[in-house]
Amino acid sequence: MVAPHLIPPALAEDPPQLAAAKAALRQSALLARGTLDPAGAGEALAEIILAACPPPPGAIIGGFWPMGAEIDVLPVLRRLDALGHALALPVTPPRGKPLEFRAWRFGEALVPGRFGTSIPAGGEVVAPNWLLVPLLAFDRTGARLGYGGGYYDRTLAGLPGARGIGVAFAAQEVAQVPTGAHDFPLFGIATEAGFIPTERS
């Protein structure tokens, strides 16, 4: 579980009532995710993604190095690497900016990044066009609750045509995620139990 003091505050653009609703769901989602059994979920997620929503040939994959209780995306990244896809991992910039993705391959060095992340020690800056997006909660419209910094919303909004696939445990689904004007919807959500197309699919 991510320690509460590592979670950036909600986006300033959210009005107080919406910010409070997101904060409440964020804390309950963190607690609930920490109780899930991750055994086998990463491998099942990889099978689901490759069968139901694979990236097109030549896609640059924006992945992430999982931390805490996040679902393990390393099995699918290894499979995509073996298929010849270029991989990139995000570097968290100062508040208010989109993520920067750096090219990376398995075996290359990682160093500690902001908020407990692991980032490439070097690597060319690239623009991914197919992204695995971490989250705390999701609903079937493609709404996603993240950690509160707005980094993926800014990133996806700045990559026209890119597909953002949320990755999570099936149990992280909720009836409705509170959203505002600056929240960017996902193309779909992949879990260990299946792929959920959304209104953008």
- Does 44 carry a binding-site annotation? no
- Does 22 carry a binding-site annotation? yes
State pLDDT tens for residues 143-193: 999 999 999 999 999 999 999 999 999 999 999 999 999 999 999 999 999
- Does 70 carry a binding-site annotation? yes
- Does 20 carry a binding-site annotation? no
- Does 151 carry a binding-site annotation? yes
Task: Taking residues 127-134, report their average pLDDT.
Answer: 98
State pLDDT tens for residues 27-83: 999 999 999 999 999 999 999 999 999 999 999 999 999 999 999 999 999 999 999
Nearest residue to 144 via CA among 180, 96, 177: 177
- Does 173 carry a binding-site annotation? no
pLDDT of residue 199: 76
Strands 118-120 and 86-91: unpaired
- Does 34 carry a binding-site annotation? no
- Does 39 carry a binding-site annotation? no
- Does 171 carry a binding-site annotation? no
Question: Is pLDDT at 142 greater than 60 in this prediction?
Answer: yes
pLDDT of residue 13: 74
- Does 78 carry a binding-site annotation? no
Domains in the chain, please, with CATH? 11-197 (3.40.50.10420)
pLDDT of residue 201: 67
Q: What 8-state DSSP symbol labels residue 185?
A: P
Q: What 8-state DSSP symbol labels residue 142?
A: S
Q: What is the dihedral of CA 135, 88, 195, 159, to 10 degrees?
A: 80
- Does 23 carry a binding-site annotation? yes
